[in-house]
Amino acid sequence: MTKANLISRLKIYRKSFCGIKLKGISLIWWLILSLSLWSSMKTLRNYMSQTDDEGHSNFQSSRNGAVSISKTTELVVKKKEWCGNISGDANFCDLEGDIRVQADKATIFLMTSNETILNSTRSWDIKPYPRFYVPNLRHWTVKLVRYNDKDDNVSLCTQNHNNPSILFSMYGHSGNYYHSFSDLLFPLYITSFEFQGDVDLLATDYRVSWVTKFQDILSRFTRQPILDIDKENGKIHCYKKMFVGLKFYRDLLIDQSAPEYALGVSMPNFRQLLRDTYLLERKNATLGSVNPRLMIVTRTKTRIIINQDEVAQAARELGFVVVLAEADGSTNLSKFAQGVNSCDAMVGIHGAGLTNMLFLPDNGVVIQLIPLGGIEWWAKVDFGYPPAGMNLRYLEYNITTNESTLGKLYPSDHPFLTHPETFHKAKWELILKLYLDNQNFTIDIERFKHTLVKAMELLKN
C-alpha cells in the first residue's frame, strides 16, 4: 500500500458512486444475441480454418494508407461518450466499430469517417485498472481516427478477432490477495459476464505468477488464453467490440442498481462460481449445530495475536471447533478454500487473510479485529460492508490500547494513541510502519468472549 492508495481511498470514501450511465438492458440483450451469433460464426470458422484469429485484414487499403471499409465495420453511432469513469475514478471505455489495438503505441484506434463524431472528444488517456492512483500502470490512449488520416497512419489489421475483448492492467495491487479479488477478479467477473466465456482478455502489465495462481478462476471468464498484449509489438489486433478497463462499483460489492445486476451478476453468483471452481461443497453454514467450526486466520509477520492459543481455548470453551489457518503465497488455493468452506465462522485481524470469507458458506459469521490506528473506516470498506452482500453476518471488535503492543510504547494519553486520525495526514508509509506493521496484540479474553458469544448466537439461527 502506498500513500496514494490512502489518499484515493479517502477520495473514494467521500465520493458518492455516481458513475456514467450505461446503455439500457434491452441493448445489452441485443448485444448478447449478436455476440452469440458471432461466437457461433467463430465456432464454424474454427472447423473451417486452422488459422483462427490469425486471418488477414478484410479491409482494402490504397497506397497512401487510406482505408475503405465495408459497411458492417463502420463505427456504430453512439448515444454516449466512448470513455468515462464507471464509478469514482475507475476509467472505462465501451467501444464498438472498427477497433485496432496497436501495442507498441499503447493505443487503441477507433476508425470512422463520421465528421460529427470526429468533431467531439477524440482521445482519452486511460489507466485500465479500477484504482486510478496506482503508480506505474501502463497508460493507454483511446483515439478516434478518420479513415485516410495520414497523421495517424493507422496500420491495417494483422489479426482479426470475432470475440469481443477486454483490455485491463494486471499490475496495480495484484500482489495483494485482497486486491486480487477486489480490484481484478470480481471486476473481471462483472465485466466479462455478458460474454459467457466468449471474450478475449488482453492484459497489459502482465504478471505470469498472478495468472498461474488464479488460473482456475480466470478460465471461468474466458475460454481463451489471456494475451500479454504488451508483447504484441508489430501486430494490429482488431475487434468489433471492446471494453478498456474493468467495471468496478465498490470493493467486493455490486448494487442492485448496476445494469449488470439484471443480467445475473451478483456477489452470491460470484460465490457460486468460486464454489464450482474449487469444488466447495457447503452452500449454507450449519445453523443450530452444537459445535460450529471457527477458523482463526493467523498471521506470522505483522499484526500477530500473541495469545492466539488463549483465544482458541476461549472459543473451544464456548463450543466452537477451532481451526487455525495461515494462507501464504504458496498455499494451494483450492485446498485452502475447501478448508475455509468447511467452517461456519472466521475471525482475524484486519488484513488480506480475511478475503477468504469469500469461501465461507452462506449465513456464516465474520469477525474482524480492528487494530489501533484510526483505520475503522477503511476496515469497514474492505471487510465490513462486503459480508452482507455475501449473505454472511459481520461482527467487529475494536482493539484497545491495553491489548496492543503500541500501548507499551507510548503513554496512554499520547495523541498517537488517542487521535491516530491526525497522523493520517503524514506520510502513508509512516502510518503503515507505525500502525500496521508495528503492532501485535494480546486480546483481552474476557472482553472478546462477548463477541464470540454473539457469533455463537448468530449461528444458532
Positions that interact with ligand NAG (CB under 6 A):
65, 77, 84-85, 89, 91, 114-117, 119, 132, 150, 153, 283-284, 304, 332, 334-335, 338, 362-363, 376, 396, 398, 400, 402, 405, 438-440
Rounded Cα distance between 100 and 45, Å, is 21
- We find the least distance from the C-beta atom of residue 258 to ligand NAG, in angstroms, to be 18
Query: CB-wise, 179 or 282, nearer to ligand NAG?
Result: 282
Are 137 and 244 in contact, with CB atoms under 8 Å apart?
no
Q: Nearest-CA neighbor of 368 among 383, 387, 355, 353?
A: 383
Sequence letter at residue 133:
Y
Q: Which is nearer to ligand NAG, 11 or 316 (CB)?
A: 11
- Look at residues 308, 166, 313 and name the one whose alpha carbon lies nearest to residue 242: 166
Q: How far apart are the first and last CA of the chain?
A: 39
CA dihedral 277, 280, 283, 284 (to 10 degrees): -150
Least distance between ligand NAG and beta carbon 37 (Å): 23
Nearer to ligand NAG, 236 or 315 (CB): 236
- Residue 193's Cβ-side half-sphere holds a number of Cα atoms within 13 Å equal to 22
Pairing status of strand 159-160 against strand 236-244: parallel
Pick 57 or 363: Cβ nearer ligand NAG: 363
202 or 436: CB nearest ligand NAG: 436
The least CB distance from residue 38 to ligand NAG, in Å, is 22
Q: Which is nearer to ligand NAG, 119 or 256 (CB)?
A: 119
Give me the least distance between CB of 401 and ligand NAG, in Å please.
7
**Whose CA is closest to 276, among 332, 220, 222?**
220
The CB-of-198 to ligand NAG minimum distance in angstroms stands at: 28
CB of 402 to ligand NAG, least distance (A): 4
Residue 445 Cβ, how far from ligand NAG at the closest point, in Å? 12
- Which letter does DSSP use for residue 441 in this model? B
- Least separation in angstroms between residue 51's CB and ligand NAG is 24
Q: Residue 205 to residues 1, 164, 165, 174, 211: CA-CA distances in angstroms?
A: 18, 20, 16, 10, 12
Pick the closer one to ligand NAG by CB: 104 or 317.
104
Instruction: Report the nearest approach of ligand NAG to the CB of residue 282 (Å).
Output: 8
CB of 47 to ligand NAG, least distance (A): 33
Q: Which of 319, 355, 320, 318 is nearest to 340 (CA)?
A: 355
CB of 175 to ligand NAG, least distance (A): 20
Compute the distance between CA of residue 272 and CA of residue 278 in angstroms, rounded to an integer.
Answer: 10
Amino acid at 386: P
Helices (H), 85-236: 115-119, 177-179, 186-192, 208-213, 215-218
Helix (H, G, I), strand (E, B) or coil at 60: strand
Nearer to ligand NAG, 68 or 398 (CB): 398
Burial class (CB in 10 A: 0-12, 13-18, 19+), 301: exposed
CA 460 to CA 458: how far, in whole Å? Answer: 5
Nearer to ligand NAG, 26 or 64 (CB): 64
Chain centre to alpha carbon of residue 291:
35
For ligand NAG, give the closer residue by CB, 19 or 164: 19
For ligand NAG, which is the closer residue by CB, 196 or 277? 277
How buried is 55 (Cβ within 10 angstroms: 0-12 exposed, 13-18 middle, 19+ buried)?
A: middle
Q: How far is the CB of 285 from ligand NAG (least distance, A)?
A: 9
Rounded-to-integer distance, Cα 189 and Cα 185, Å:
6
CA 435 to CA 372: how far, in whole Å?
7
Look up cell 483505520; give the residue.
375
What gap in Å lies between CA 135 and CA 4, rounded to an integer? Answer: 8
Residue 201 or 236 having the CB closest to ligand NAG: 236
